[in-house]
Structure 1
Amino acid sequence: MKNFKKVELHCHVEGAAPPHLTLSQAEKYGVDHSTFIRDGAYVWEDFTSFIACYDHVASVFRTAEDYAALTEAYLLELAAANTIYSELFISPDHGEAVGMDPVDYIDGLAAGITAARDKTGIECRMIIIGERHLGPENVLRRAEWTAKLDHPLVTGFNMAGEERMNRVADYARAFDIVREAGYGITIHAGELCGAFSVADALDLVRPSRIGHGVRAIEDPDLVRRLADLGTVLEVCPGSNISLKVFPDFESHPLRAFVDAGVRVTLNSDDPPFFHTSLQREYDIASDIMGFSDEEIDRMTRTALEAAFVDEETRSRLLARL
């Protein structure tokens, strides 16, 4: 699948940091990395320890320059795999946690995006994340901040983090605020929690896309509803297997969603944490899951159709397919 044009809609920027870069950053700031990097790999056991490891990794990126280097490194990796468009999930809360002004955080990311585009032509946009486990008030504060932000590369809003905490209803107002401000809406749902989480997202948030959403397979009526609505699932098979949402690729429901007419895309989520890459996700879909070249191309086209970009950029990207 190396020569296939690729698109990614679901990747967390700190979660894309290669371990060697994180190691170098930790040494730069004198941070003991023995608890979260071992033998060149990130150390975690379950979702809770994964979140803790992620926070450790994020903590060694502390300046706009650090984030520019991280973003450029990941986008150059994507471009080398023939990726033409990427959306990165970014969390100003991680910037604030190390004392960064959120605008500086975004400016650093934007500098990395611009550098990668100048070198390779890859387009990228940023999606602001509200961290669910920081509580409804924090996500509401982040939504209000986002609504006032005017940055050409920030085009969407999302909520990620510990899905088992609180209810979707607790966060609905935040999504209303960013929708009214004109941002694209996606939300993590149906990963750690069951089909009800996806149904709640559809009822209360009304997103055009859902991050993961794979547990919807537990409710055939909900699968039909997703197909009827045209809601796009940002599916991350490698992540799902690593986090034991499903035991193996053979039991993953991606094929069942496609057969049911649900619109899906391929993504890597937090690639080095899950020993994957966008290239590998395309290879898994082809070699293990048995999707045809035409079906995989359709997923890529779906990703561009669902991307949070202006119509002129979308048309230009679609033409590149």
Structure 2
Amino acid sequence: MKAPPVPAQARSLIALPKAHLHLHFTGSMRHSTLVELAAERGVHLPDALVEDWPPELKATDERGWFRFQRLYDIARSVLREPADVRRLMLEAAEDEAAEGSRWLEIQVDPSGYASRFGGLTPTVELVLDATREAERATGVGIGVIIAANRTKHPLDAKTLARLAVRHGGGGVVGFGLSNDERRGRAYDFEGAFRIASRAGLLSTPHGGELLGPASVRECVDTLRADRIGHGVRAVEDPRLLEKIVDRRVTLEVCPSSNVGLGVVPTAADVPVRALFEAGAPIALGADDPLLFGSRLARQYELAREVYGFSDAELAELARHSVRGSAAPVDVRKELLDGIDDWLATDRPEGPEGLSPTPS
């Protein structure tokens, strides 16, 4: 279906209040910050992270995923001091505020940083302290999701789940599962998710990105997912999609990421419209802006320009993001009221409804 033309004076997508539920810690780094820190630390960046940025990726085969992971690891290597973590969180929150996001849930695997920050617990405490500083400085609420790596042993995931539970009242709001879903079944991590879920943390595993609907089904049935990272392949199984709708499992759909990793050829091939019309809750996400070159507002722009979402439908997408979040009740109310106000206004702001955003 061809999207209708966007009015010359459309409502500003920056002004639309929203929550951002799918953002990875390292991948949230500004490109300019990566280049600056790499120069300071003597880290050589490949052309894909400098002249050819954002990189052309195709992670649908092992070699492509290895390249994606290598670039990610290089980016992680420039964060060496506690001040770097604090800077990353502050800049991420500033970028969220600039794009109209008032609540952020950022996902981190502390094991990737533990060796340089004194262990798993000190790393989590550093990240949580940095989020509190960023909240105070920007007014953006931030929750942390501790994520296990599905390429590692399930016992490692249980360790992280217990760590997440220990900090559940101090800023950790959920437990996730990321990395290459072809190398670790969700089924194997049921014990870790049971630990987290019993303590009231949201279950937010990745699934249905590089593998088909069976991967999503395991997340829904075995891990009792509240949200699914990506989950777009659920569209291939009508019964599974019906279950997702019935259980109100939010799909964290990241169109630019799906294109960037080669999951689909173009943004038009991401089944956002089909999922939405089926009744699935959708929270648009940027995933890893550092590697895909776009942030949250761009995903809403795609919804308007590529998928043909009306302003009323864009407002509903924003509501999905808020309702699927762990934001406190008062924050949810404020955001939902703001979305209603955005839709009620008859005075659009700015050309094409989108203002310049930070790099």
Does 2:50 correspond to 1:38? yes
TM (norm. structure 1) is 0.94
Matches within 5 A, 1:130-145: 130-145=148-163
Does 2:208 correspond to 1:190? yes
Match among 19, 24, 28 for residue 40 of structure 2: 28
CA 31–2 in structure 1, closer or farther in 2 if over 3 Å, else same: same
Does 2:299 correspond to 1:287? no
Separation of aligned partners in 1, 2:40 and 2:122: 20
Separation of aligned partners in 2, 1:41 and 1:104: 33
User: Which amino acid in 2 is paired with 1:26?
Assistant: A
Q: Is the 8 A contact 1:43 1:53 kept in 2?
A: no
Separation of aligned partners in 2, 1:100 and 1:61: 14
Matches within 5 A, 1:120-269: 120-269=138-287
Matches within 5 A, 1:112-127: 112-127=130-145
TM-superposed CA distance for 1:243, in Å, is 1.1
Separation of aligned partners in 2, 1:135 and 1:161: 13
5+ long unaligned stretches in structure 2: 1-12, 60-64, 340-359
Q: Is the 8 A contact 1:7 1:304 kept in 2?
A: yes
> Which range is displaced more, 300-309 or 9-18?
300-309
Match among 9, 12, 18 for residue 30 of structure 2: 18
TM-superposed CA distance for 1:313, in Å, is 3.5
Separation of aligned partners in 1, 2:14 and 2:330: 27
TM-superposed CA distance for 1:111, in Å, is 3.9
Separation of aligned partners in 1, 2:46 and 2:250: 39
Deviations 1:186-243 (A, max 9, x none): 1100000000001111110011111100011111111111111111101101101111
Deviations 1:108-131 (A, max 9, x none): 333443333333321111110101
> Which range is displaced more, 79-88 or 32-41?
32-41
Does 2:111 correspond to 1:88? no
CA 204–180 in structure 1, closer or farther in 2 if over 3 Å, else same: same
Aligned-residue CA RMSD (Å): 1.9
What is the aligned partner in structure 2 of residue 4 from structure 1?
16
TM-superposed CA distance for 1:99, in Å, is 4.6
CA 119–98 in structure 1, closer or farther in 2 if over 3 Å, else same: closer
Separation of aligned partners in 1, 2:118 and 2:310: 45
Q: Is the 8 A contact 1:265 1:303 kept in 2?
A: yes
Match among 77, 80, 83 for residue 65 of structure 1: 83
Match among 300, 303, 309 for residue 327 of structure 2: 309
Does 2:287 correspond to 1:273? no
Number of paired residues? Answer: 321
Q: Is the 8 A contact 1:42 1:53 kept in 2?
A: no
CA 114–204 in structure 1, closer or farther in 2 if over 3 Å, else same: same
TM (norm. structure 2) is 0.84
Q: Is the 8 A contact 1:68 1:110 kept in 2?
A: no
Q: Is the 8 A contact 2:103 2:327 kept in 1?
A: no
CA 239–38 in structure 1, closer or farther in 2 if over 3 Å, else same: same
CA 129–190 in structure 1, closer or farther in 2 if over 3 Å, else same: same
User: Highest CA radius of gyration, 1 or 2?
Assistant: 2
What is the aligned partner in structure 2 of residue 55 from structure 1?
73
